[in-house]
Amino acid sequence: MLQTSEKIWMDGKFVAWADAQVHVLTHSLHYGLAAFEGIRCYKGKSGSAIFRLPEHVDRLFESAHIGLIEMPFDRKQISEAIVETVRVNRLEACYIRPLVYIGYGAMGLYPAENPIKVSIAAWKWGTYLGDEALSKGIRARVSSFTRHHVNVSMTRGKISGYYVNSILAKREVKADGYDEAIMLDPEGYVAEGTGENVFIVRRGVLKTTPLTSILEGITRNSIIQLAKERNIPVVEERFTRDEMYVAEEVFVTGTAAELTPVTEIDQRRIGSGKPGPITQTLQKAFFDVVGGTDSAHRQWLTSV
């Protein structure tokens, strides 16, 4: 159950959590054209800080642009509103959800002059894939649902309606007792999870899907940088599901998932069946950054 906070920012002002409502004929509710972000704020040794806020705000604006949604606020206003939302709710660590959506007005597929609305909510949220996911890993299954094709859905946009595909895949694998789904692209190569990017370690090389049919993950980008700094070879290339099966290590990354090991896929144990050494090294490096103990990446943190 979602743990409520006190206030939500809506179109430039704060309203009580319970009063943050929209009309049932809100256009985006019916047709799914909205842009959103997932951002985390961490409690570190120097206080609370939001992880890679400028990059998340840039991606929000890029998603809106891809969807032909004209933002009614600029980047500076949205960035300040995100920080203030965390402050107003007195949250030391939290998940932040900005949403840009098409409001009430005309119905039908063409939204005409419907107003563009923006909301920002923040709440306490722990480990996304389970209490022991970060330490022990998760079980995943390759979904029967195919991930988006670049000419069906523009995959660089974090668009609300695209996630129906993820919901179907997630419900499918959860019903079969797995923690997460891994989705293939239309040509049968590994794309991403329902809300995460996928990495494998094969013969000491860290591989991840190139930015062809997947969302440009900000945590993904961070892990690639951290790996290179530790002299871990990194390549961005396509790989198949059976290459995952024989990999020494597999993990997924994302704002919600952070860096979560995958220890079983399709009833096949991955490596030793436990989080591997490269996974553990990068997981520690990531949490050192977000916890403020890695001064080399202080620019990734925005103080609250």
pLDDT score of 127: 83
For residues 6 and 20, give the distance between their C-alpha atoms in angstroms, rounded to a whole number: 11
Most distant CA pair in the chain: distance in Å?
Answer: 57
pLDDT score of 1: 78
Q: Is 263 helix (H, G, I), strand (E, B) or coil?
A: strand
pLDDT score of 295: 86
Q: For residues 200 and 250, is the Cβ–Cβ distance under 8 A?
A: yes
> Active-site positions?
158
Residues composing the chain:
304
Q: For residues 35 and 157, is the Cβ–Cβ distance under 8 A?
A: yes
List average pLDDT for each run of 10 residues in the chain, which is 304 residues long.
Answer: 94 98 98 98 94 98 98 98 98 97 96 96 89 94 95 93 97 97 97 98 97 94 98 98 98 97 98 97 97 92 96
Host H or E run for residue 46: none
Spatial CB neighbours of 276, under 8 Å, sequence gap ≥ 6: 201, 248, 249, 261
45, two tokens:
């040794």
Write down the architecture of domain 133-290 according to CATH.
Alpha-Beta Barrel (3.20)
Q: For residues 3 and 125, is the Cβ–Cβ distance under 8 A?
A: yes
Q: What is the pTM of this model?
A: 0.96
pLDDT score of 46: 86
DSSP lists the bridge partners of residue 44 as 47
Q: What is the CATH number of domain 7-123?
A: 3.30.470.10
Q: For residues 133 and 270, is the Cβ–Cβ distance under 8 A?
A: no
pLDDT score of 129: 86
DSSP lists the bridge partners of residue 35 as 100, 159
In the chain, what are the domain boundaries?
A: 7-123, 133-290
For residues 93 and 45, give the distance between their C-alpha atoms in angstroms, rounded to a whole number: 12
Q: For residues 247 and 200, is the Cβ–Cβ distance under 8 A?
A: yes
